Amino acid sequence: MENEEENRERKVTTRFKPNEFKVLDTRFKKTRFLKMSEYIRCVLLERPITVNYRDKSMDEMLEELALLRKELNAIGNNLNQAVRQINSAHGNADNRLWLNLLSIIGSKVDPAIGQIKERMQNFSEIWSQKLKPGEASAVQ
């Protein structure tokens, strides 16, 4: 192994065509390296390179989870508006206001929560298909 404290004194300059550099840059971005020079040095010296693989199906799930978060925020806003209406009655909340709140919950919140549960069930099925039985216990 070389001495890590030793300074690098030699410099090599290499020119690439635009498409060659694009390939090199694409490969570099898939690794853990922060500097291109580190990556090139490891390639040239045949050292091990850790490549980060990206699961594109996770992108779709993350987008869907972001949508679910927005939907949950909308549900919370609807509930807050209904409670404000009841509180604006200054302690004189009658049965009509409570029934109004329950109708809002029944008409808007329950179907949205049902959709969220369905989507989450779909995610769990996708995740369980990706994990083999032995891998599932290792993840926990």
* Among 22-26, 38-42, 65-69, 131-135, the least confident range: 131-135
Burial of 39 (0-12, 13-18, 19+ CB in 10 A): buried
Is the model's pLDDT at 3 over the cut of 60?
A: no
Give me the mean pLDDT over the 45-52 stretch: 81
34: Cβ contacts below 8 Å, ≥ 6 apart: none
Report d(CA 26, CA 88) in Å as an integer. Answer: 59
Cβ atoms of 65 and 119 closer than 8 Å: no
What does the radius of gyration of the chain's CA atoms come to, in whole angstroms?
28
Q: How many CB atoms lie within 10 A of CB 82?
A: 20
